[in-house]
Amino acid sequence: MQGNKPMFFERFTVFAHRGASDSVLENTIEALRLSCQRGDDAVEFDVMLTKDGVPVVFHDETLSRLAGVNRRIDDTTFDELKKIPLKNVYAVPSLDDVLDVVKAYYTPVNIEIKPSRTDLAQATTSVVVDALNRKGLLYQSPVKVLLSSFSQDALIQADRVAPHLEKSVLTENLTEADVEFAHRINAVAVHAPVQSMSRENVAYVKDCGLKMCLYTVNDPILAVKARAVGIDGIFTDKVKDIQKVLSQE
Ligand code: G3P
Ligand code: MG
């Protein structure tokens, strides 16, 4: 936050989920760069640690789905990872390289801290914050930064080591406990599954002084409805389709 003024959610925000994943393989430097180049509102990506503690942008705990290799990210060093192509083409990017890209375009970022094991939660947050600091994005950042996580330990650590950064609580099933936890860690928003969209839930979250976002909204009709009921942002794999419909409303 800059002073008391929140940086995110001044208006309905369409987050490019894992970068421009409608056009390029998710969470790759190419997908993230394309999202920045086409001027998406904001870009979301996932971060976890390699065996040797390097923060990398990747969603799954293992390389099975994207590389056909049954190895865990946290059991693979960054040098080893560089030799394992995703879909025979792409490399798993380091967080540092991705931050260089978003910094070049001033694209607002939602960094989802995604510890691959519960015992890595605090370390993953600390390493992300270190990377932001290294890249000049921790204090007086030229780029808006929002941290989020499904991991409570990761978010508690974020509040401890970077209390000035905006944070969101990710949940798979919105409950009062999520809202209470959001207050405990001074979060600005909750990010809930699209199934949580209802006027009642939006009113409840807003009455509690929080913003509410939905993932993953790939149906333009649902995106229009989300904006109409007061949702503050959505995560989508289909930014172009969604923005087209939203702009016609
Ligand atoms: O941050 C929203 C969304 O990315 C959460 O789910 O599994 O796609 O990281 P996932
Ligand atoms: Mg994510």
pLDDT digits (tens, 9 = 90+) for 16-48: 999 999 999 999 999 999 999 999 999 999 999
Work out the percent of the chain whose per-residue pLDDT is above 70.
98
Indicate the helix (H) or strand (E) that contains 145. strand 145-149
Separation between Cα atoms, residue 104 and residue 51, nearest integer Å: 29
Q: Which pLDDT tens digits describe the chain residue by residue (249 residues)?
A: 444 556 889 999 999 999 999 999 999 999 999 999 999 999 999 999 999 999 999 999 999 999 999 999 999 999 999 999 999 999 999 999 999 999 999 999 999 999 999 999 999 999 999 999 999 999 999 999 999 999 999 999 999 999 999 999 999 999 999 999 999 999 999 999 999 999 999 999 999 999 999 999 999 999 999 999 999 999 999 999 999 999 998
132 contact partners, CB below 8 Å, separation of at least 6: 99, 138, 141, 145, 162, 165
In DSSP terms, 44 is beta-bridged to 17, 110
**Ligand 1 geometric centre to CA of 188 (Å):** 17
Q: What atom of ligand 1 comes closest to residue 114's alpha carbon?
A: 9
Q: Calculate the CA 104 to chain-centre distance.
A: 18
The preferred substitution site among 112, 167, 211 for testing ligand 1, maximizing ligand atoms within 8 Å of CB, is 112
pTM of this prediction? 0.97
Which residue pairs, CB below 8 angstroms and at least 24 apart, start in 3-7? Answer: 6/166, 6/188, 6/211, 7/108, 7/144, 7/146, 7/166
**Ligand 1 geometric centre to CA of 116 (Å):** 14
**Ligand 1 geometric centre to CA of 236 (Å):** 10
